[in-house]
Chain A
Amino acid sequence: MKIKSLLLSFLIFLSCLTTTVQAATQSQAKEAILTAHNLWDKTKTAGHEWNTIKPLMAQATQALQENDYITAIALAKKASTQSKLALVQAEREKTNWLNNLPK
């Protein structure tokens, strides 16, 4: 009897833990996608959007819909990194384009 209740308590604890982890991961995934989306928008405004970002965003959103939060976060982070690089490019090219003029 004692072992049974101990096992039951453990299972309940485990189930609560899983739900907590899942909830946290879902909100993290949403947050990561939102951040990635904002950065992506900035690249569009800067006129330096990369065509590799859109598919990553679509895949991240798809993963979120399928409750695959780990994949969603990974893809959103990848999209964010690319957007940050595109923004660095946009900033650099404000002056660097002059170096490409024919001499």
Chain B
Amino acid sequence: MKNLLNILVIFTSLGCINIANATPEQDKETFQRFYMERFPDVSKEDFGNGVYALDQDARDQWESMSDFPPYEDDLEAGEELFNNPFKNGKNYANCFKNGGENIRQNYPKFDTERNSVITLELAINECRMKNGESALPYQKGDIAKISAYMASTSEGSLIEIKVPNDNALIAYEEGKQYFYSKRGQLNFSCANCHIQNVGRKARSETLSPALGHPTHFPVYRMAWQNFGTLHRRFASCNKQVRAQPLAGQSEDYRNLEYFLTYMSNGLPINGPASRK
């Protein structure tokens, strides 16, 4: 009996190791399949609309509001900021491939020379500093407006995140572990809400699917009354479970964004968007 129990423990452990050691592509297949099976009536592409893919009433309200999106002014400001030259005469277009247009779907990317995940917002600030400008505060304000404009030029392009080497894989795995780890006084992981309880209510709010989360950022949240980056949203989620939020562009948040965006590979960019 004891031997049988030991064998069972060994097999269970091997099972866990296999899941933990799955390749990013296998993870993505499992992740996306989970949502497709849970919500068979929702198309893969529609998961990019978050909770509005699951709740028709909320969707109706959201769609009527989209006739006059609340972020229009900020988006225009973002375009202006993007095109305004720095003091040295150069601008953001000089720092990015394709003049900074239609590139959102490739971020975050892993820089193999620096062994670090580079998000679009980090790249924007690095571009500024390279050209003698000061860094913008992360999470909201001008950086979110510029990022929103850049996202808008990628509308419809499919997310294509790559894990180019073993160091990138480490960053990916760290992001994955962050996503599934419980934290905060309420002992919740990202997955507890956005996988295990997706579509259910937390008070009056429907919990959104994690598949498609990164497709539409930065978002204009009614609660914020302005644009916020994905890291601002991560910080809000941390606070909601009573965990200490991290600084925008901290390594943990960048790795989390890397993992989460990889999970949405193949979904079209549809940002910026508005949310409650």
Contact = CB atoms under 8 A, between A and B. Distances in A.
B183 A97 contact: no
Q: Tell me whether chain B's interface is mostly helix, strand or loop, or mixed.
A: helix
Q: What band does the interface of chain B fall in when counting residues whose beta carbon is under 8 Å from A? A: 20 to 34
Given A100-B192, A101-B19, A102-B34, A48 B183 contact: yes
Contacts of B238: 51
B185 interface: yes
B187 A102 contact: no
A93 interface: yes
A100 B242 contact: no
A82 B242 CA distance: 11
A93 B183 CA distance: 8
A100 B196 contact: yes
Q: What band does the interface of chain A fall in when counting residues whose beta carbon is under 8 Å from B? A: 20 to 34
B184 A51 contact: yes
A98 interface: yes
Q: Tell me whether chain A's interface is mostly helix, strand or loop, or mixed.
A: helix
A91 to B, nearest CB: 11
Contacts of B20: 98, 101
A50 B192 contact: no
Interface string B191-205: 110011000000000
Interface in A62-103: 82, 85-86, 89, 92-93, 96-98, 100-103
A50 B189 contact: no
Contacts of B112: none
10 contacts: A47-B252, A48-B183, A51-B242, A51-B243, A82-B185, A85-B185, A89-B182, A89-B183, A101-B19, A102-B31
